[in-house]
Amino acid sequence: MNSQYDVVIVGAGFTGLTAGLDLTRKGRKVLILERDTAPGGLAGTFEFRNGVTIEKFYHHWFNNDEFVPMIARELGVEDQIVTLPSRTGMYFNGKLWRLSTPLDLLKFTPLSFIDRIRLGLLVLQVRKIKDWKTIEHLSIREWLEPLCGKKVFKVVWQPLIDSKFSVFADAVNAVWFWKKLVLRGSTRDKQGGEQLAYYKGGFGRLAGHMADEIVRLGGEVRYGVDVAGAQTENGRVVSLDTSEGPISARQFLLTPSFAVVANIFDKVGDAKWLESLRRVNYLGNMCLVLQMDRSLSDTYWLNVNDPGFPFVGVIEHTNFDAPANYDGKHIVFISRYLATQDPVWSYGDKEYLDFAIEHLQRMFPEFNHSWVQEFRVWRAEYAQPVTERNYSSYVPGRETPYANALVSTMAQIYPEDRGTNYAIREGRDVARVIDAQLQ
């Protein structure tokens, strides 16, 4: 089969878009295939009925991230980046506690004074770890509890870890948490507050700019295209089976989750390689997005540490980016990570809204259903890779059994966790590899 493409990329998330953009700039003939109707992947956006645009799943980036601003500069849209202070807090024992600055921490009376000091010093302690592989064999609890004490772990960290990783909470290795603390500790200003960055109108707008530039340079981005299988011959991928028919290329890049890649190659793939892809576990995410006529609180990111609440966080986006940018409305994300076997995963949208409101009313007694003017429920089956003990020993690399196919997904960003900044970094790096292979 004669190919009209140098590279076919599966997935128009930020890894696929970055790789596609860099390869197109080098004069390569690129085709990106995306199952969704718009680019951005998990950072894609949607519109409420009144035209307000927002992410399906909450997003920001940190002021020390370098790759998102780099892409924005290259596209001439750097003026669309805003850097804003954030207000974080915790819901515990029926009360909202503000935890944005060191002074807030000292006022957190559910912990003794000594435990508050231990919590405050934790970032300094974790920075002493220079080789993350020395703690990769430990669970988060096994590593963290001796550092901060049992009380701090039980009150502050365990509820978040349990909510984030659900049935895998005791299996996740310490490196995941270590990296989070190191990165967050380096984003503080001189007063101890945190500055975060956002792209006006949502990350989906930036993804759209990238896709438009790819097309302007001669590449193609097709939406609503499902990739269901592959044809291989003599250790190479000949073509992909898609909802638009077979598509061939000289090189292939696959950016979805390992499970999706395994399904694409299920009928032709090497059994051992397929097994390694499926060894990596994932959790799904259900994200309820509320458009309301008033605010819940003055906190942007509210961690929910009170036992019995089914959410890892309540993120009031318009306490970060002002309501004036959203037609005066207040936007709230309510996030729940769960195994897709959990009965809640199969709830209908209205059923899930009622489920969430019941708990919101416990947190905010004055909250009324009538505040909600519109809502959406978004589901991502492979939202969070689970980095279990000794993850680096079993996570698959980019290489595949096929000389002309590579895999680059968020599960390979380790020891960093998934994030738009790192997706761009990986897309840029894998583009260099593919360009060299084409030469």
381 and 286 share one domain: yes
22 and 162 share one domain: no
User: Edge-to-edge strands of the sheet including 227-233?
Assistant: 227-233, 236-242, 245-248
User: Does residue 218 sit within a domain?
Assistant: yes
276 and 298 share one domain: no
432 and 368 share one domain: no
Mean pLDDT, 10 residues at a time, the chain of 439 residues: 83 97 97 96 94 93 88 95 88 88 88 92 85 96 94 92 91 93 66 79 94 97 97 96 95 98 94 97 97 95 88 93 95 95 96 95 93 97 96 97 97 91 96 96
Token readout for 196 is 């975060």
Sequence-ordered alpha helix ranges (H) in 265-318: 271-279
Res 418: pLDDT:
85
**In the block, residue with structure tokens 């967050």:** 184
DSSP state of 418: P
User: Does residue 73 sit within a domain?
Assistant: no
Strand partners, 236: 233
276 and 394 share one domain: yes
> CB–CB of 71/80 below 8 Å?
no
> CB–CB of 377/286 below 8 Å?
yes
Rounded to an integer, what distance in angstroms lies between the CA atom of residue 175 and that of residue 130?
11
> CB–CB of 424/15 below 8 Å?
yes
Rounded to an integer, what distance in angstroms lies between the CA atom of residue 288 and that of residue 355?
11
Res 187: pLDDT:
57
Residue type at 193 in one-letter notation? G
User: Does residue 93 sit within a domain?
Assistant: no
Beta strands of 210-276 (E only): which ranges? 220-223, 227-233, 236-242, 245-248, 251-254
276 and 299 share one domain: no
248 and 394 share one domain: yes
Rounded to an integer, what distance in angstroms lies between the CA atom of residue 107 and that of residue 269?
57
Res 189: pLDDT:
58
Closest-CA residue to 88 (of 252, 267, 264, 314): 314
Token readout for 366 is 């004055």
Token readout for 146 is 């001796």
364 and 318 share one domain: yes
User: Does residue 91 sit within a domain?
Assistant: no
Last residue of a domain, one of 156, 185, 214: 185
Rounded to an integer, what distance in angstroms lies between the CA atom of residue 139 and that of residue 388?
8
Residue type at 372 in one-letter notation? V
Chain-centre distance of CA 416, in angstroms? Answer: 11
HSE-CB of 115 using CA atoms within 13 angstroms: 17
Domain span at residue 324 reads 195-199+282-385
User: Does residue 87 sit within a domain?
Assistant: no
355 and 415 share one domain: no
> CB–CB of 210/428 below 8 Å?
no
Rounded to an integer, what distance in angstroms lies between the CA atom of residue 251 and that of residue 30?
10
User: Does residue 82 sit within a domain?
Assistant: no
- Number of folded domains that form the chain: 3
> CB–CB of 253/7 below 8 Å?
yes
121 and 251 share one domain: no
User: Does residue 45 sit within a domain?
Assistant: yes
Res 245: pLDDT:
94
CATH of the domain at 359: 3.90.660.20
Last residue of a domain, one of 340, 361, 385: 385
302 and 378 share one domain: yes
User: Does residue 2 sit within a domain?
Assistant: no
Res 383: pLDDT:
95
275 and 392 share one domain: yes
DSSP output for 165-195: HGGGTTTBBHHHHHHHHHHHHTTB-TTS-BE
Rounded to an integer, what distance in angstroms lies between the CA atom of residue 289 and that of residue 387?
27
Beta-carbon count within 10 A of 358 CB = 10
Give the chain's mean pLDDT. Answer: 93
CATH of the domain at 46: 3.50.50.60
Rounded to an integer, what distance in angstroms lies between the CA atom of residue 338 and that of residue 345?
8
Last residue of a domain, one of 367, 385, 403: 385
Compute CA distances 331 → 310, 318, 375, 376, whole Å.
20, 6, 10, 11
> CB–CB of 23/253 below 8 Å?
no
